[in-house]
Structure 1
Amino acid sequence: MKGIVQKYNTDKGYGFIRMDNGTNLFFHITDVTNAAFVSPGDAVEFDTEMRSKGLAAKNIVLHGNNRPAFISFGDINLKISNIKDYGLGHDIGEEEYEEDVHFTAGEKVISGLFGIGLLAGGSFDGFSLLDTSDRKVKQKRPVKIKYLYVTTFQNDNYRFYKRDVSFDINQKYQELCDRLT
């Protein structure tokens, strides 16, 4: 059958197709087989099926829609028409770094005298514990970790953390904005 998309709610992912005979049929975005974008006025071909609330369109094919149907996030490909929500966010995580520890001349002298005093008494053989050479110490600090999130109509939730992916999450966010609005 053939028809024209009359109304489409992008937030909810459903709309209505006006058939050639004037009847309006309900459809959901998951019934669209080949398109990234659905908008009023699009010409479509479809099958019909009886559902609990009446006749509905299924296996919908949009005509004249040359826009890509998928977007890639590294090795994950998502159908554009299945994306319900997306955005940028951040979590608080930890970052490990090395910090140089330097002893002043005074600290080295005091440490050395303390070690000599213990050795002279003969009661503690731990001079090696009083290492006063400069060294690096591993530390942790809190950091904001930026991510791109994507939710589908099938309730699949994806988070792509900036530090873990091979693509620029800001560019992917802009690509989603361009293709979904």
Structure 2
Amino acid sequence: MQTTVKRWFTDKGYGFLHNGGDAPDIMVHANELKNCQYLRPGRTVEFECHTNSKGLVAKNVRLVQDQPKAHNQRHSQQYPFQRSSYGRY
């Protein structure tokens, strides 16, 4: 499938993809990104759509090399998602 990025939360390492109309958005996690480290709203991606207990999720997400569309920068940052090197308690 192919769609555009709706929101991306760099600090949390996940975001949402447009699913068209009144359909629920598709959640995407940074671990599923195959050719990039983070996404920006408005960018086009290709992915496989799956379901889990929480709803629709994107797997094997690949950024399509297109020009970014105008978007709201509020939830997007210029820095790639970095996992903390600190262990849990």
TM-score by length of structure 2 reads 0.69
Alpha-carbon distance in 1 for matches of 2:60, 2:33: 6
Whether the 8 Å contact between 2:15 and 2:27 is mirrored in structure 1 is yes
Structure 2 Cα separation of the partners of residues 50 and 41 of structure 1:
23
Residue 2 of structure 2 aligns with which residue?
A: 2
Residue of structure 2 equivalent to 1:28: 29
Separation of aligned partners in 2, 1:50 and 1:81: 26
Q: Residues 81 and 58 of structure 1: is their aligned pair in 2 closer, same or farther, counting only changes over 3 Å?
A: farther
Structure with greater contact order relative to length (CA < 8 Å, sep ≥ 6)? 2
User: Which letter maps to 2:18?
Assistant: R
Aligned residue number for residue 72 of structure 2: none
Greater Cα radius of gyration, structure 1 or 2: 1
Does the CA-based 8 Å contact 1:30-1:82 persist in structure 2? no
**Per-residue deviation, 1:58:** 0.9
Task: List runs of 5+ in structure 2 lacking aligned partners.
Answer: 67-78
Q: Which amino acid aligns with 2:41?
A: P
Q: Identity of aligned pairs, percent?
A: 36
Equivalent in the alignment of 1:37: 38
Q: Deviations over 1:104-136 (max 9, x none)?
A: xxxxxxxxxxxxxxxxxxxxxxxxxxxxxxxxx
Q: CA deviation at 1:36?
A: 2.7
Question: TM-score, normalised to structure 1's length?
Answer: 0.36
How many angstroms apart in 1 are the aligned matches of 2:42 and 2:81? 20
Indicate if the aligned counterparts of 1:47 and 1:58 stay in contact, CA closer than 8 A. yes
Match for residue 17 of structure 2?
17
**What secondary structure sits across from 2:11 in the alignment?**
coil
Q: How far has the Cα of 1:55 moved from its partner?
A: 1.4
Deviation at 1:81, TM superposition (A): 5.3
Structure 1: which 5+ runs fail to align? Answer: 66-79, 85-150, 152-156, 159-181
SS of the counterpart of 1:83? Answer: coil
The CA RMSD measured in Å over matched residues stands at 2.2
Closer, same or farther: CA 51–9 of 1 in aligned 2, 3 Å: same
Q: Report the structure, 1 or 2, having the larger strand content.
A: 1
More helix by share: 1
Any conservation in 1 of the 2:15–2:28 contact (CA below 8 Å)? yes
